[in-house]
Structure 1
Amino acid sequence: MTLFRQIYALLFGLFLLTIASVAYVQFSETQGFLSKQMESDLNNASNSLGLMLTPVLEAGDDAGAETLVNVIFEGGYYQQIKLTWLVDGKQQVWNNSVKVDNIPQWFINLNLFKTIKKQTTITSGWLQLATLEITAHPGFGYQELWRIISDIIILFSILFLIAIIFARVGLSWILKPLNTLSLHAKQIAAQQFGPDMPTPKTRELKELVNAFNSMSAQLKQVFNSLDEEVSALRKKNLVDQVSGLPNRQYMVSRVNGWLSEPSTGALYLVKMDWLEDVHSKYGFQVRDETIRILAEKLQHHQDEIASSVIARIAAYEFAFLVEDCEHDQLAKYLQSLIRTVNKEISKAGCKPNEQFYIGVAERLGQMTVSDMLAQADNALQQSIKDDKVFHWFENTQKQLFTREEWRNNLSHAIKNKKFQFRWQSIQLCAKDEICQRELYCQLQIGDTILHAGQFVPYIELLSLGTMFDRCLIETVNEHRLLERNYERVAINLTYQSISDVDFHLWLKQFLRANKYAERICFEIPEASVYSDLESCENLCKVIRDSGAQFGIDHFGRQFGSMAYLQSLRPNYVKLDQSFAYIEENQHNSELCRALVNVAKGLDIQVIVTGIQEAKQLTRFTELRVDAYQGFIVPPVNVKL
C-alpha cells in the first residue's frame, strides 16, 4: 500500500471514530432526555386525569369516566390506560398499538425506550374510589430520536464528503514532493539522470530532496566521466591527431569486421603526393591545416554519395571503405572522390590530377584482410606506374541479376515467404548456456543459394526493407520458432523499417497479439541511432511496451557520445566485431573496458561478437562481458 493510501486510511479511520463517538454521545443524551420528558409528561397527565375523574367516580358515572379518559387517550401519547373501580372491582382498559407513521418498524423493534408506567389511586377525602394506571406511548420518543439521528447522519455525511475532498487535495499537495522523490529514485535506479527536483518547503522533505539531487548529480557525473573516457581513449588510440579521421589501426579492424560478415563494397587507397609540395612550399603547419580541411570536405561530400569510413593511414595516404554498395554506386563514389580532391588541389596551387593516385579493390566473395589490402595496394601501385588518377581491380564475376531482376526475385520471395533460416547461438560467459539465438536468412533462386550479404544490399537499395522485415517476422511466427525454443530469437531490422512509422504501428499490433513476444529480440545498428535517434526512440518504446527486447548492434563502431544509451535503454549491446580484431595492447584493452563499463554501468548486458577462437574469448572475459558470439559456435540450419 502506498504512503498516500496509508495516511488516507488513517485519517479516514480517525474521522469515522470521531463521528461514531459524537454520534454515540448525541444518541445517548437524546435518548435520556426523551425518556425523562415522557416520564414528566406521564406524571402530569396522571395527576390531571385523576383530578378530572374524581367527581365522576363519586357519582358512579361509567360513561362520564370513559368520556374523560377518551379525551386524554385520543391524543396518542399513551400506550395504555387502565381504570379499576375499587367499589366493585370493575376495570376499564384503553390500548394503543406501538406503531408510528414514517418510522421504520425495525427501528421501533430495537426497544430503545423502556416501558414507563404511572399508577395512582383516586380518592375522595379518605375514601379510595379507583386506581388509575397509565403507560406512556414510546412513539413520541422514537419519532424525535429518528428525526435527530437522520439530521445527524445527513450533516455528518456532508462533513465526511467535504473532509474526504480536502484530505485528498491536501495530502496530494503535501505528499507531492514524496511522489516526485519516488519517481526520481526509480529513474536513478534505472540510471536515468534527469533535472534536479524542486526543493519543497517542508524541512524534512527538503533535506531528503537535496540529498537525492546531490546523489543524482554525482551518478550522472560518473556516467559522463565514463563517456568522456571512451571518447578520450578513442581519440588517443584510433584517431589521427592531424586530420581528425580514424587511423590505420581502426581501418584495419573495420575491414576485418566487414569481411567477416556477408556484404559487398570496395576499398579505396588514395596517395596524395601533392601534400608534400604544400609542405615544402608553406611548411608543416599549412600542410596539416590543408589535411584537416581536406578531411572535412571528404567526409561532407562522400557521405552524400554513400556511407563510408575514411581513415588517414599514412602521412599522405588515405583509405576509404564503402560497404553494402553495388558497382554503379561505387563508381559514383569514385567520381565524387576525384572531384573533391581536385578542388582542394587547385586551392593549394597545385595542378589537378597530378601527384594524386587511387587504387580501388572491389570485394570478391570470401577474402581476408591481407587479400583486400594487397589488392587495393596493387591497384594503387598500378595507378602510380601508369601515371593515372585511378586503377580499379573490378569484380570480374558476372553479376547474378540486373537491378530489375533483383526487384522481381526479391519481391516474389517476400510475397511468397521463400526465405530459409539459419541461427547462431549466443553463449553466456558465466555458464555454458544459450541466452539467445541470432537469426540469419538465405534465399534460393534457381539452383543458387544466396546469403544475406548478397541480397540484403539490394533490399535496402530497392526500398524493400519494411516488406522484408515483416516477411521474416511473420515467417518466424508461422513456423512457431518462438514456441520451439525457450531462448530468445534475435532479428536484425533494416534501416527502412527503423524509420517507417507504418512499420512501428504494424509491429505494435503484432507483438500485442503474440503471446510469446517476450522471446523476440530486435537488433538496431548503432549507425541508425546516430542518424535518426527520434525514430529509434519511438521504435524502442513500441518494442519495450509490448514486452519484447531490443539491442544495439555494432556497439562502439561509431565515433560519438554514448549518451543515447540513457534514452533508449536497450536490453543488451553487441560490441562491434572490429574490437575482436584490434591488435591487443594496453590502450585497446582500456578502450574496450571503458565501453563495457559504460554499458554495464547502466545495467545493460554486453555481448562481444566476432569470437573465432578461445584466445580471443579469454581476453574479453577478463573485461567482464556477459556473453559472446562468433564462429567459435557456428550457425546451424533451422528446420522449418
Structure 2
Amino acid sequence: MTLFRQIYALLFGLFLLTIASVAYVQFSETQGFLSKQMESDLNNASNSLGLMLTPVLEAADDAGAETLVNVIFEGGYYQQIKLTWLVGGKQQVWNNSVRVDNVPQWFIDLNLFKTIKKQTTITSGWLQLATLEITAHPGFGYQELWRIITDIIILFSILFLIAIICARVGLSWILKPLNTLSVHAKKIAERQFGPDMPTPKTKELKELVNAFNSMSAQLKQVFNSLDEEVSALRKKNLVDQVSGLPNRQYMVSRVNGWLSEPSTGALYLVKMDWLEEVHSKYGFQVRDETIRVLAEKLQHHQDEISSSVIARIAAYEFAFLVEDCEHEQLTKYLQSLIRTVNKEISKSGCKPNEQFYIGVAERLGQMTVSDMLAQADNALQQSIKDGKVFHWFENTQKQLFTREEWRSNLNHAIKNKKFQFRWQPIQLCARDEICQRELYCQLQIGETTLHAGQFMPYVELLSLGTMLDRCLIETVNEHRLFERNYERVAINLTYQSIGDTDFHMWLKQFLRANKFADRICFEIPEASVYSDLESCENLCKVIRDSGAHFGIDHFGRQFGSMAYLQSLRPNYVKLDQSLAYIEDNQHNSELCRALVNVAKGLDIQVIVTGIQEATQLTRFTDLRVDAYQGFIVPPVNVKL
C-alpha cells in the first residue's frame, strides 16, 4: 500500500471514529431526554385525568368516566389506560397498539424506550374511589429519535464527503514531493538521471529531496566519467593525434572483424607523398594542419557516397574501409576520393594527380586479413610503379547477377518466403547455458546457396530492407520457432526498417498479437543509433512496451558518446568484433573494461562477439562480460 493510501486510510478511520463517537453521544442524550419528557408528560396527564374523573366517579357515572378517558387516550401518546373502581371492583381498560408512522418497524423492534407506567389513586376526601394506571406510548420517542438520527446521518454524510474530498486534495498537494521523489528514485534505480527535482517547502521533505538530487548528480557524474574514460582511452589508443582519424591498430581490427562476417566491400590504401612536399616548403605545423583539414574533407565527402572507416596508418598513408557495397558503388567512392584529394592538393600549391597513389583491394569470397592487406598493398605498389593515380586489381570473379536480376530474385524470395535459416547460440559465461540464439538467413537460388553478406548489400541498395524484415519475422513465426524454442531468438533489423514508421506500426501489432513476444529479441546496429537516434528511440519504445527485448549490435565500434544507452535502455549490448582482434595489451584491456563498465553500470547485459578460441575468451571473462558468441560455438541449421 502506498504512503498516500496509508495516510488516507488513517484519516478516514479517525474521521469515522469521531463521527461514531459524536453520533453515540448525541443518540444517548436524545434518548434520555425523550424518556424524561415522556415520563413528565405521563405524570401531568395522570394528575389532570385524576382530577377530572373525581366528580364523575363520585356520581358513579360510567359513561362520563369513559368519555373523559377517551378524550385523553385519543391523543395517541398513551399505550394503555386502566381504570379500576374500588367500589364494586369494576375495571375499564383502553389499549393502543405500538404503531408509529414514518418509522421503520425494525427501529421500533430495538426497544430503545423502557415501559413507563404511572399508577395513582383517585380520592374524594378520605374516600378512595378508584385506581388509575397509565402506560406511556413510546411512539413519540421513536418518532422524534428517528427524525433526529436521520438528520444527523444526512449532515454527517455531507460533512464526510466534504472531508474526504478535502483530505484527498490536501494530501495530494502535501505528498506531491514524495510522489515525485518516488518516480525519481525509480529512475535512479534504472540508471536514468534526469533534471533535479524542485525543492518543496516542507522542511523534512526539503532535506530528503536535496539528498536525492545530490545522489542523482553524483551517480550521473560517475556515468559521465565512465563515458569520458572510454573517449579518452579511444583517443589515446585508437586515434591518430594529428588527423583525428582512427589509427592503424583500429583499422586492422576493423578489417579483421569485417572479414569474419559475411559481407562485401573493399579496402583502399592511399599514399600521399605531396604532404612531404608541403612539409619541406612550409614546415610540420602547416603539414599537420593540412592533414587535419584533409581528414575533415574526406570524412564529409566520402560519407555522402557510402559510410566508411577512414584511418591514418602512417605519416603519409591512409586506409579506407568500405563495407556492404557492390562494385558500382565502390567505383563511385573511388572517384569521389580522387576529386576530394585533388582539391586539397591544388589548395596546397601542388599539382593534382601527382605524388598521390591509390591501391584498391575488393573483397572476393573468403579472405584473411593478411590476404586483404597484401592485395591492397600490392595494388598500391603497382599504382606507384605505373605512375597512375590508382590501381584496381581486375575482378576475375564473375558477378552472380545483374542489378535487375538481383531485384527479381529478391522480390520473388521475399514474396514466396524462400529464405532458409541458421542460428548461433550465445553462451553465458557464468554457467554452461544458452541465453539466446542469433538468427541468420540464407537464400537458395538455383544450385547456389547465398549467405546474407552476398545479398544484403543489394537489399539495402534496392530498398527492400523493410520487406525482408517482415518476411523473415513472419516466416519464423509461421514455423512456430518462438513457441518451440525456449531461449530467446535474436533478429537483426535493417537500416531501412529502423527508420520506417510503417514498419514500427506493423511490428507493434505483430508483437501484441504474439503470445511469445518475450522470447523475441531485435538487434539494432550502433551506427543506426548515431545516424537516427529519434527513430531508434521510437522503435525501442514499441519493442519494450510489447514485452519483447532488444540489444545494440557492434557496441563500441563508433567513436562517440555512450549517452544514448540512458535513453534507449537496451536489454543487452554486443561488443563489436573488432574489439576481439585488438592486440592484447594493457591499454586495450582498459578500453574494453571501460566499455563493459559503462554498460554494466546501467544494468545492461554485455555479450562479447568474435570469440574463436578459449584463450581469447579468457581475456574477456576477466572483464566480467555476461555472455559470448563466436565460432568457438559455430552456427547450425534451423529445423523448421
TM tier, shorter chain?
A: over 0.9
Q: Distance in 1 between matches of 2:84 and 2:517?
A: 94
Deviation, structure 1 residue 63:
1.1
Greater shift after overlay, 228-237 or 117-126?
117-126
Greater shift after overlay, 316-325 or 397-406?
397-406
Q: Distance in 2 between matches of 1:288 and 1:378?
A: 28
Deviation, structure 1 residue 428:
0.7
Call closer, same or farther: CA 1:159–1:394 in 2, change over 3 Å. Answer: farther
Q: Deviations over 1:521-540 (max 9, x none)?
A: 11000000000111111111
Q: Distance in 1 between matches of 2:14 and 2:476?
A: 60
Name 1:202's counterpart in structure 2: 202
SS at match of 1:359: strand
Q: Distance in 2 between matches of 1:238 and 1:469?
A: 35
SS at match of 1:80: strand
Q: Distance in 2 between matches of 1:102 and 1:467?
A: 78
Q: Deviations over 1:370-411 (max 9, x none)?
A: 111111111111111111111112432111111111111111
Q: Distance in 2 between matches of 1:119 and 1:456?
A: 114
Deviation, structure 1 residue 213:
1.1
Call closer, same or farther: CA 1:394–1:10 in 2, change over 3 Å. Answer: farther
Q: Distance in 2 between matches of 1:84 and 1:389?
A: 145
Q: Deviations over 1:257-283 (max 9, x none)?
A: 111000111111111111111111100
Q: Deviations over 1:534-569 (max 9, x none)?
A: 111111111111111110000000000000111111
- The 5 Å alignment of 1:22-61 reads 22-61=22-61
Deviation, structure 1 residue 508:
1.1
SS at match of 2:315: coil
Q: Distance in 2 between matches of 1:153 and 1:369?
A: 90
Q: Distance in 1 between matches of 2:637 and 2:175?
A: 58
| Native 8 Å contact 1:512 1:546 kept in 2 | yes
Q: Deviations over 1:288-321 (max 9, x none)?
A: 0000000000000000010000000111111111
Q: Deviations over 1:146-203 (max 9, x none)?
A: 1111111111111111110111111111111111111111111111111111111222
Deviation, structure 1 residue 215:
1.0
Q: Distance in 1 between matches of 2:443 and 2:394?
A: 26
Deviation, structure 1 residue 25:
0.3
| Native 8 Å contact 1:274 1:354 kept in 2 | yes
Name 1:235's counterpart in structure 2: 235
SS at match of 2:357: strand
SS at match of 1:350: coil
Greater shift after overlay, 124-133 or 518-527?
124-133
Deviation, structure 1 residue 211:
1.2
Q: How does the TM-score come out when normalised to structure 1?
A: 0.99
Q: Distance in 2 between matches of 1:483 and 1:413?
A: 24
Query: Identity of aligned pairs, percent?
Result: 94
SS at match of 2:370: helix
- The 5 Å alignment of 1:333-412 reads 333-412=333-412
Q: Distance in 2 between matches of 1:478 and 1:5?
A: 48
Structure 1 position 62 matched with structure 2 position 62: yes
Q: Distance in 2 between matches of 1:18 and 1:277?
A: 97
Q: Distance in 2 between matches of 1:631 and 1:376?
A: 27
Q: Deviations over 1:489-524 (max 9, x none)?
A: 110001111111111111111111111111111100
Q: Distance in 2 between matches of 1:395 and 1:62?
A: 144
Deviation, structure 1 residue 437:
0.4
Deviation, structure 1 residue 144:
0.6
Q: Distance in 1 between matches of 2:44 and 2:67?
A: 19
Deviation, structure 1 residue 604:
0.7
Greater shift after overlay, 438-447 or 203-212?
203-212
Deviation, structure 1 residue 27:
0.2
Q: Distance in 1 between matches of 2:387 and 2:357?
A: 8
Runs of 4+ off more than 3 Å:
none
Deviation, structure 1 residue 87:
1.3
Q: Distance in 1 between matches of 2:490 and 2:578?
A: 21
User: What RMSD, in angstroms, separates the aligned Cα atoms of the two structures?
Assistant: 0.8
| Native 8 Å contact 1:269 1:320 kept in 2 | yes
Deviation, structure 1 residue 466:
1.0
Q: Deviations over 1:20-52 (max 9, x none)?
A: 000000000000000000000000001001111
Q: Distance in 1 between matches of 2:289 and 2:457?
A: 37
Name 2:267's counterpart in structure 1: 267
Q: Distance in 2 between matches of 1:609 and 1:390?
A: 35
SS at match of 1:130: strand
SS at match of 1:474: helix
Q: Deviations over 1:86-118 (max 9, x none)?
A: 112222111111111111111111110001111
Q: Deviations over 1:328-352 (max 9, x none)?
A: 1111111111111111111001111
Q: Distance in 2 between matches of 1:164 and 1:334?
A: 77
SS at match of 1:554: strand
Deviation, structure 1 residue 475:
1.3
Name 1:287's counterpart in structure 2: 287
Deviation, structure 1 residue 422:
0.3
Q: Deviations over 1:451-479 (max 9, x none)?
A: 01111111111111111111111111111
SS at match of 1:131: strand
Q: Distance in 2 between matches of 1:459 and 1:116?
A: 103
Deviation, structure 1 residue 579:
0.6
SS at match of 2:193: coil
Call closer, same or farther: CA 1:94–1:289 in 2, change over 3 Å. Answer: same
Greater shift after overlay, 573-582 or 57-66?
57-66
Name 2:16's counterpart in structure 1: 16
Greater shift after overlay, 212-221 or 625-634?
212-221
Q: Distance in 2 between matches of 1:559 and 1:396?
A: 36
Q: Distance in 2 between matches of 1:13 and 1:617?
A: 63
Greater shift after overlay, 196-205 or 135-144?
196-205
Q: Distance in 1 between matches of 2:635 and 2:227?
A: 34
Greater shift after overlay, 591-600 or 177-186?
177-186
Q: Distance in 2 between matches of 1:517 and 1:257?
A: 31
| Native 8 Å contact 1:362 1:394 kept in 2 | no
| Native 8 Å contact 1:363 1:395 kept in 2 | no
- The 5 Å alignment of 1:217-228 reads 217-228=217-228
SS at match of 1:148: helix
Deviation, structure 1 residue 129:
1.2
SS at match of 1:267: strand
Deviation, structure 1 residue 354:
0.8
SS at match of 2:603: coil
Q: Distance in 2 between matches of 1:500 and 1:6?
A: 47
SS at match of 1:281: helix
Greater shift after overlay, 176-185 or 35-44?
176-185
Deviation, structure 1 residue 254:
0.5
Greater shift after overlay, 471-480 or 295-304?
471-480
| Native 8 Å contact 1:121 1:131 kept in 2 | yes
Q: Distance in 2 between matches of 1:122 and 1:501?
A: 105
| Native 8 Å contact 1:553 1:575 kept in 2 | yes
Q: Distance in 2 between matches of 1:274 and 1:15?
A: 91
Q: Distance in 1 between matches of 2:394 and 2:135?
A: 125
| Native 8 Å contact 1:361 1:394 kept in 2 | no
Q: How does the TM-score come out when normalised to structure 2?
A: 0.99
Q: Distance in 2 between matches of 1:460 and 1:102?
A: 86
SS at match of 2:175: helix
Q: Distance in 2 between matches of 1:315 and 1:549?
A: 45
| Native 8 Å contact 1:311 1:320 kept in 2 | yes
| Native 8 Å contact 1:425 1:438 kept in 2 | yes
| Native 8 Å contact 1:279 1:287 kept in 2 | yes
SS at match of 1:319: strand
Q: Distance in 2 between matches of 1:88 and 1:336?
A: 143
SS at match of 1:426: strand
Q: Distance in 2 between matches of 1:162 and 1:502?
A: 51
Deviation, structure 1 residue 630:
0.3
Q: Deviations over 1:357-382 (max 9, x none)?
A: 11111110100011111111111111
Name 2:92's counterpart in structure 1: 92
Aligned residues, how many? 640
Which residues of structure 2 form unaligned runs of 5+?
none
Q: Deviations over 1:586-637 (max 9, x none)?
A: 1111100100111111111110000001110011111111110000000000
Deviation, structure 1 residue 140:
0.6
Name 1:298's counterpart in structure 2: 298
Name 1:623's counterpart in structure 2: 623
